Structure 1
Amino acid sequence: MNVRTRILKVAKQKFLKYGFHKVSMDSLVKELRTSKSSLYNHFASKEALVQAVMDSLNNEINTQLEEILNDDKLSFKGKLASVSDFTRNLLISVSEEFLRDLEMNTPDIWDSFQQNRIERINKYYRRLFEIGINENVIRSNVNLDIIIAIYFNLMELPLKNKYIDILNMNNQNIYDDVTDVFLNGIIVK
């Protein structure tokens, strides 16, 4: 593994767990057993390292969603379950501190993250819901743009610290409850 990849891997692990505000470049240097100059040769600043971590995370998410949606062995319900499990596990690995740091300390990176989420939901979740329509699991007369807009807005809840605080729940529980309401509704069958 090359130095840049090692730096990115360790930084991602630390940032996602503790938030990047609490992780110093010195602590990364110590853990990586490298020099500060080596770290700064690959990443000009901590913000550049945070951006690289986010780019890596976005690529991993997109790759995983692509693999799930292209799995011909899975039906819509299987793909939906796999996407939900993947998202839940992702939220488990991303601390609320990290989300708070992004939103509060690096608004440009947060905005970029949000833009990537919009594009991802519009691309991958639209495909997922189209599969559901084609398999007659989702009503075909529902406006797909409305489904996407509702889903996007509901998925804001587990990522925004103000909702985590208001609901007094962690982001994984918010995700689970929001997903349940979105998929199953509120009406008793």
Structure 2
Amino acid sequence: MEDSNTREKILKGAAGLFMKYGVRSISMDDIARHLSVSKKTLYQHFADKEDIVTLVFRELLEENQREMEEAHRLAVNAIDELARLSTCMKKNVEEMNTSLLFDLQKYYPKAWAVWQDFKQRCVYESIKRNVDQGIAEGNYRPEVNAEIVSIMRMALVEITFDDKTFPLDKFKFAEVQMQIFDHFVYGVVTEQGKKLYEKCREFKPAEIINR
């Protein structure tokens, strides 16, 4: 097998394990066993586990960025973009272990730095652009401060990963994410925007993506 194919196979396999079980609980032995390769093969392609973690999350975030850009490209207005992003987010969080971000923050500083860069460079700019667009369209309240609500939105995303705030034995992760998303939307929309958003929510996920 070519080196590039082996490398991609390792990253894809590790990503599946991390998304399902979290990062800290998965060892190099677990990755090697899951992929039916030797640990020697892993170390031929990656320096250590943190190297794998960092590259996996860089690829995952690049995929998230492509989804965000596609939602913006296809959307007919700011509300439509939010509906499309909501569909993508729901799909992503249903596949995600809630310990991911806090594992990165505590144990994998390089991967955490990748997330922080993505959050500031891509997520913040996407939210702020959407809010400015929504205000210009009359779908968001004109008095909304785009910078403040964009920072607030990013902070709320991270809070949902905190098991102390939303214990997993009491709250479903996906439901928490979607409740907070709706709270953000209803906090910025005008009456016109509210009606439009609720109309968009009537579509099934595939209809939103394909319409």
Alpha-carbon distance in 2 for matches of 1:14, 1:175? 22
**2:40 aligned partner, one-letter code:** S
Structure 1: runs of 5 or more not aligned: none
Superposed CA RMSD in Å reads 2.3
Alignment of 1:41 with 2:44, yes or no, is yes
Percent identity, aligned pairs only, is 28
Alpha-carbon distance in 2 for matches of 1:16, 1:166? 16
Aligned residue in 1 for 2:82: 80
CA deviation after TM superposition for structure 1 residue 82, in Å:
0.8
Alignment of 1:105 with 2:107, yes or no, is yes
Q: Closer, same or farther in 2 for the Cα pair 1:149/1:99, shift >3 Å?
A: closer
1:17-28 alignment, distance < 5 Å: 17-28=20-31
Alpha-carbon distance in 1 for matches of 2:40, 2:169? 44
Residue 78 of structure 2 contacts residue 134 of structure 2 at CA under 8 Å; is this kept in 1? yes
Structure 2: runs of 5 or more not aligned: 192-211
Alignment of 1:96 with 2:133, yes or no, is no
CA deviation after TM superposition for structure 1 residue 180, in Å:
2.0
Partner residue of 1:16 out of 19, 22, 44 = 19
1:26-64 CA-partner distances (Å, limit 9, x unpaired): 232233232322211111101110111111111111111
Aligned residue in 1 for 2:175: 173
Aligned residue in 1 for 2:33: 30
Residue 160 of structure 2 contacts residue 177 of structure 2 at CA under 8 Å; is this kept in 1? yes
**2:186 aligned partner, one-letter code:** N
TM-score, normalization by structure 1: 0.85
Alpha-carbon distance in 1 for matches of 2:120, 2:145? 18
Tell me how many residue pairs correspond in the alignment. 185
1:2-33 CA-partner distances (Å, limit 9, x unpaired): 11111100000101110122222223223323
Question: What SS does the corresponding residue of 1:162 show, helix, strand or coil?
Answer: coil
